[in-house]
Structure 1
Amino acid sequence: MAKRDVWVRIGEDLVRGDTIVGISVSDPPYGYEAFKIMLKVTGHRDHLWLDSGVYDDDQGAGREQVNALADDFVDTLARGAAMPSGALIRLGSDEDDSAWVLSSLG
């Protein structure tokens, strides 16, 4: 597969998708905090954190939801890499149809 430009918006940062080498989900230290998705990015000393907006419900549904969100990110990254013109990925808002918004660069 040919290398494509895929960019990912993570808070204030904009990173190339091919520099993301790891993804994990944090356990919120307090019940009132949302789960965070942590991305390990080549060239960044510290991990990049993304607030998922998903809260722990003490039943495990919150953990399942944020794990699905992380899995969906990986799927979206792969779909972006398959786009001939490259892509921009960002976490969707309440108005968006999906959790991750994939936009063509071309």
Structure 2
Amino acid sequence: MAKRDVWVRVGNELVRGDNIVGITVNGGHSFNQSYKESYKLLMKVTGHRDPLAVDSGISCDGTGEDECRKQATALADSFVNTLAQAAAFPTGALIRLGSDTDNEGGGSSGWDITVLG
């Protein structure tokens, strides 16, 4: 992958895409009947001791947890594809998790790329 200025919004931080060295899916735990934790995408970033978290917005009510985990894993996989696409832009890009307003299913619509320059 060519080296480009690709920036990624991870929680409250902007990090360079080439500093992200890993991504895992975590969460979906129930703390009580009224609160369900959504799945988090944990990104291991060079220079950060602990992984940085992106809230996927995907949570389950206890039924269909396998399907929810699959959705969160697919979102993590699509991040890798989005990062590769963004690296192809000659002027660089910004990647951030898209809003869920575009998706009828209530989950996230995926990743948004903004071309820089």
Question: What's the TM-score once normalised by structure 2's chain length?
Answer: 0.83
Q: Which residue of 2 aligns with 1:37?
A: 41
State the structure with more CA Rg.
Answer: 2
Q: Which blocks of at least 5 consecutive residues in structure 2 are unaligned?
A: 104-108
Query: Does residue 1:87 correspond to 2:98, yes or no?
Result: no
* Structure 1 residue 51: Cα displacement: 0.8
- 1:10-89 pair list within 5 angstroms: 10-30=10-30, 32-56=36-60, 57-59=62-64, 60-89=66-95
Deviation at 1:45, TM superposition (A): 1.3
Please give the root-mean-square deviation of Cα atoms over the aligned residues, in Å.
1.6
**Structure 1 ranges of 4+ moved more than 6 A:** none
The CA deviation at 1:86 is 0.6
CA offset digits 1:5-26 (Å, max 9, x no partner): 0000011100000000000000
1:43–1:96 distance in 2 versus 1, CA, 3 Å: farther
Do the aligned partners of residues 93 and 33 (structure 1) sit closer, same or farther apart at CA in structure 2, a change above 3 Å counting?
Answer: same
Deviations 1:24-69 (CA, angstroms, capped at 9, x unpaired):
0003332611011100000111110111110134321101110110
Shift of 1:96: 4.8
TM-score of the two chains, using structure 1 as the length reference: 0.91
Q: Partner of 1:8 in structure 2? A: 8
* Count, aligned residues: 106
CA distance in 2, matches of 1:100, 1:91: 5
Identity of aligned residues (%): 58
Preserved CA contact (<8 Å) 2:9 2:15: yes
CA distance in 2, matches of 1:26, 1:105: 31
